[in-house]
Amino acid sequence: MSYLASAALQGAVYQALREDEALGELVGDAIYDAMPVSAPSGVYVALGPEDVSDAGDMTAPAARHDFVISVLSGADEGGGGFAGVKAAAAAVTAALEAAALELERGHVAGLWFLRGRARRADGGAGRRVDMTFRAAVDLARKHH
């Protein structure tokens, strides 16, 4: 029963990022749930992999969702170093901390930043920050 809220959580995270003004100022509408065929130019945000595990007990069903959000820059932006991707990564974190995620199924009981990793990408020309977040989802009730 632990995968029931996965699509709802992904949609809520995507919507929260799309609606955040500070993040929008940094990346425009370059926030992707599914990557376009060719990588966009500039700094952009992509929702990534997710690991879900059962967190329920005898009293209520629940799930733990560990998901990755990546902030990337292509070779065209790599000359600026990590500043652009790190600023956008901070905006992603702030957006999720401020968001009241509404799920079609279940209720987000907690959302935490777990870890981040910055590194060079595209043969050293681009930059990338991968952040892992954890959401605890109570499947027994819907948020009101």
Query: In this structure, are residues 137 and 66 in contact, taking their beta carbons and an 8 Å threshold?
Result: no
* pLDDT value of residue 71: 95
The domain ranges of the chain are 6-81+96-138
Q: What is the mean pLDDT of each run of 10 residues along the chain (144 residues)?
A: 87 97 96 83 93 90 95 72 93 97 92 96 84 94 58
Beta-carbon-side half-sphere exposure of residue 114 (alpha carbons within 13 Å): 15
Strand partners, 32: 46
* pLDDT value of residue 57: 86
Q: CA 32 to CA 54: how far, in whole Å? A: 27
| Token digits of residue 30 | 């370059």
Tell me which CATH code domain 6-81+96-138 carries: 3.30.70.1700
Strand partners, 131: 69, 116
pTM: predicted TM-score of the whole model, two decimal places: 0.90
Burial of 50 (0-12, 13-18, 19+ CB in 10 A): middle
Nearest to 71 by CA among 13, 119, 16: 119
Q: CA 89 to CA 85: how far, in whole Å? A: 6
